[in-house]
Amino acid sequence: MTTGARMSFTTAARRVFDLSLGEMLWSRRTIFMALVVAGPVLLALIARGVEVFGMSALRVNGRPVPGFSIFGVMIWSLYLFFIVPVLGLFYGTALMADEVEDKTITYLFTRPVARGAVLVGKYLAYLACTILVVLPSVMIVYFMLVPFSQLPSTFGNLVIDLGLLALGLAVYGALFAFVGAFFKRPLLIGLVYTFGFQQTVLALPGSLKQFTVAFYMNALVPHVMPSDGVSSLLQSMFKENPPLWVCLFWLFAILAGFLYLATRVVERKEYILEQ
């Protein structure tokens, strides 16, 4: 029997999660995500195809580059630099904005659930949705590029990569969930932060880089940073490696802090729907 009694926070978040996961998975935004994630898989497929014909997919100084090194470059250049921040940005900023845009937020907020639980449920759905798409693609890319004989020596790094990407999705998602809930133009602010502020301060000396997510993420990557351009060369020169516990502490602090702030904003903000 349905009553007007208020659901507990966790029950409400779980209900919203169930509802939102299907919606997110089969939305138009998922087509974008599928295209983004299919890129590395396609590149790995081409590399594999080239090797089947006895050629090397990538040569440096006339010498073939090992499959695991190509995989490392893809983790840096495609996943950590582009896919993870972009998915966090597009999904995180849209968690509440989509409901406002579709004018369906009223239906959610008139339910006997805490407003914060709506955001947490949607955030968890985002996390499940992106992890279920991104991590299998990393796994496929790994098995396509790395020969079976090198599996024992490289598998540990794959596990670190998977954990790091999942953590990255969680941290960027929480950060941009707050940006989406608090600011009027969250996408623009997110793009400026991710590809402007972060990339600039990482290529400069000083302590400003400690205010970026990428600073802590980059220190945990088990692959060497590719230095193929001026920006990446500078970044590798000024790259610092804080201890593991410092990186994990700040990443989890950013995650928890911004998720908490996002729920506070959603609970207090008055959403005015355009007529």
Partner 1 sequence: MSTKTRYFVAISGAILAIGLGTGLVASYMGFPVSVFSTAAGPDELQYVPADAAVVAYANIREVMNSDLRQRFKDIGPTTDQKNEFEEKTGLDFEEDIDSVVLAVTGSVANQPQKSFLVLGKGRYDAARLEALAIEHGAQATDYQGKRLLTHLENDGDDVAVGFVEADLVAFGNLAMVKASIDARRENRNIVSNNDMMKLVNELDNSNAWAVGRFDAIAQQANLPSEVQAYMPQITWFSAAGHINGGVSGQFKAEAKDEQSAQNLRDVLGGFLAMARMQAANKPALQQLADSMILSGDGKTVALSFSIPTEVLDVLESLAKGRQGVVQQ
Using CB under 8 A, list all residues that contact partner 1: 18, 21-22, 25-26, 56, 60-66, 68-69, 72, 128, 132-133, 135-136, 139-140, 142-143, 147-159, 222-224, 226-227, 233, 236-237, 239, 241
CA pair distance 5, 3, nearest whole angstrom: 5
Which residues touch 79 (CB under 8 Å, ≥6 apart)? 40, 134, 138, 161, 165
Q: Which is nearer to partner 1, 76 or 178 (CB)?
A: 76
> Torsion angle, CA of 17/22/28/31, rounded to 10 degrees?
100
Minimum distance, C-beta of residue 200 to partner 1, in the bound complex (Å): 19
Q: Which is nearer to partner 1, 26 or 107 (CB)?
A: 26
Minimum distance, C-beta of residue 6 to partner 1, in the bound complex (Å): 24
CA pair distance 75, 134, nearest whole angstrom: 11
DSSP state of 76: I
Minimum distance, C-beta of residue 129 to partner 1, in the bound complex (Å): 9
Minimum distance, C-beta of residue 132 to partner 1, in the bound complex (Å): 4
CA pair distance 102, 54, nearest whole angstrom: 53
Q: Which is nearer to partner 1, 227 or 231 (CB)?
A: 227
Q: Which is nearer to partner 1, 25 or 191 (CB)?
A: 25
- Cβ 146 vs Cβ 67: under 8 Å: yes
